[in-house]
Amino acid sequence: MTPEWYSLSWFSPETLRSFTWGQKLFLYGLLLIPFLFSIRWLLFVRFRQKLALTMPGKRFYWSLTSLLRFIPDLLVSMVVALIIIALARPQRINQRVELSSMGIDIMLVMDVSRSMLALDFQPNRLEVAKKLAKNFVNNRFQDRIGVVVFAGDAYSLAPLTTDYDLLNHLLGDINQNMIQNPETALGTAIAVTINRMRESNSKSKVAIIISDGESAAGNIDPLTAAKLAKVNQIKLYTILVGREGMVQAVNSEGKIVQQNNTVDETIMREISRIGDGRFYRASNAAALQSIFKQIDAYEKAPITEARYKDTEDFYQIYLRWALVCLVAWIATKCTFMNNILED
């Protein structure tokens, strides 16, 4: 609530610091006021000394009441200071920014099979993929994002939503025990993704498939599923994670063993080709992070920004105070009060 103009709160340091000054250079004029007042004081002292010389028999005593003669000068100084503050244009600016975006729909399709626990990524492939997926989500604006997890089966973990806090929570909870079938069903995962996205009215629909193995399960051929995705105007990005050759992995008993890791790039490349997307191969965490950044840049939606600035001036407040001080100066300088102050 804005105080009345006669409130002394307009002179508090908090209030003065809250202003934006339209003509800030005028504030330097306030530095001249103490200088001029000091000159007035020196002239007064000098005048008393001369008066003492011309009237040697007269003693002049100093008293606190003699300071009353400076009241008119003080009032004039206040008038000048208040006018300077008004000229500096104290104001408050409320800036409102409105952003509009043609949000796109993105489905993160994540492999949670046991092979995603391989230790060629630290701490493992799945944890790195989860972390980077969270970063990807946090860099989006007004995009609806959903999550599908798959191994030998697939199911939707999160529908398309803009609740990014919920998505981060669900991504953090992903683990290899979510689906008991340990194999990889790429076709089924794409089919579940299509079911989630086919009702979308978005002009741009994207699925990002993260997997480390060849499709060896499911009742739907991955290439057939990719063709269905294209019919539904869903763009498919595929990311193949992991190194070929001997890697440390976790077996069915939870023990770390050495195993030969083989990958089939052909199927992942073909899925991305059919789905009008891109294929990426990530052999380490840094490469996977770079891939997410590239996809984030490719699929940015245009954002329109509108800025509204509301400016409220408060110079009238200080002009009113200047008028009050001016009236007070006239009362002390041009009336019987002047005689009282001089005596």
Q: What is the structure's pLDDT at 143?
A: 86
Lookup: tokens for 41: 């004081």
Q: What is the structure's pLDDT at 113?
A: 85
Nearest to 73 by CA among 333, 317, 335, 339: 333
Tell whether omega for the bond before 123 is within 30 degrees of 0, i.e. cis: yes
Place of tokens 């008119």: 72
Q: How far apart are CA 150 and CA 196, in angstroms?
A: 14
Give the residue extent of every domain in the chain. Answer: 8-95+310-342, 103-301
Q: What is the structure's pLDDT at 191?
A: 95
Backbone angles phi, psi at 186, to 5 degrees: -65, -40
Average pLDDT, stretch 194-205?
A: 87
Between residues 97 and 283, which one has the greater pLDDT? 283
Is the predicted pLDDT of residue 47 greater than 60, yes or no?
no
How far are the Cα atoms of 155, 171, 230, 304 from residue 145, in angstroms, in the given order? 15, 12, 19, 21
Average pLDDT of the chain to the nearest whole number: 82
Q: How far apart are CA 13 and CA 324, in angstroms?
A: 21
Is the predicted pLDDT of residue 74 greater than 50, yes or no?
yes
Q: What is the structure's pLDDT at 3?
A: 82
Burial class (CB in 10 A: 0-12, 13-18, 19+), 73: middle
Q: How far apart are CA 119 and CA 137, in angstroms?
A: 25
Q: How far apart are CA 86 and CA 91, in angstroms?
A: 10
Q: What is the structure's pLDDT at 147?
A: 96
Beta-carbon contacts of residue 203 (< 8 Å; ≥ 6 apart): 102, 104
The CATH class given to the 103-301 domain equals alpha beta
β-bridge mates for residue 94, sequence order: 310
Backbone angles phi, psi at 302, to 5 degrees: -65, 140
Is the predicted pLDDT of residue 148 greater than 70, yes or no?
yes
Between residues 1 and 54, which one has the greater pLDDT? 1
CB 328 within 8 Å of CB 82: no
Is the predicted pLDDT of residue 185 greater than 50, yes or no?
yes
**pLDDT category of residue 112 using cuts at 50, 70 and 90:** very high
**pLDDT category of residue 166 using cuts at 50, 70 and 90:** very high
Beta-carbon contacts of residue 160 (< 8 Å; ≥ 6 apart): 105, 107, 144, 145, 146, 196, 197, 200
Is the predicted pLDDT of residue 208 greater than 60, yes or no?
yes
302 backbone φψ class: left, alpha, beta (φ>0; ψ -120 to 50): beta
Average pLDDT, stretch 324-340?
A: 74
**What is the sign, positive or negative, of the torsion defined by CA atoms of 39, 44, 45, 50?**
positive
CB 221 within 8 Å of CB 185: no
Q: What is the pLDDT of residues 78-92, one digit of tens each?
A: 888 999 999 999 998
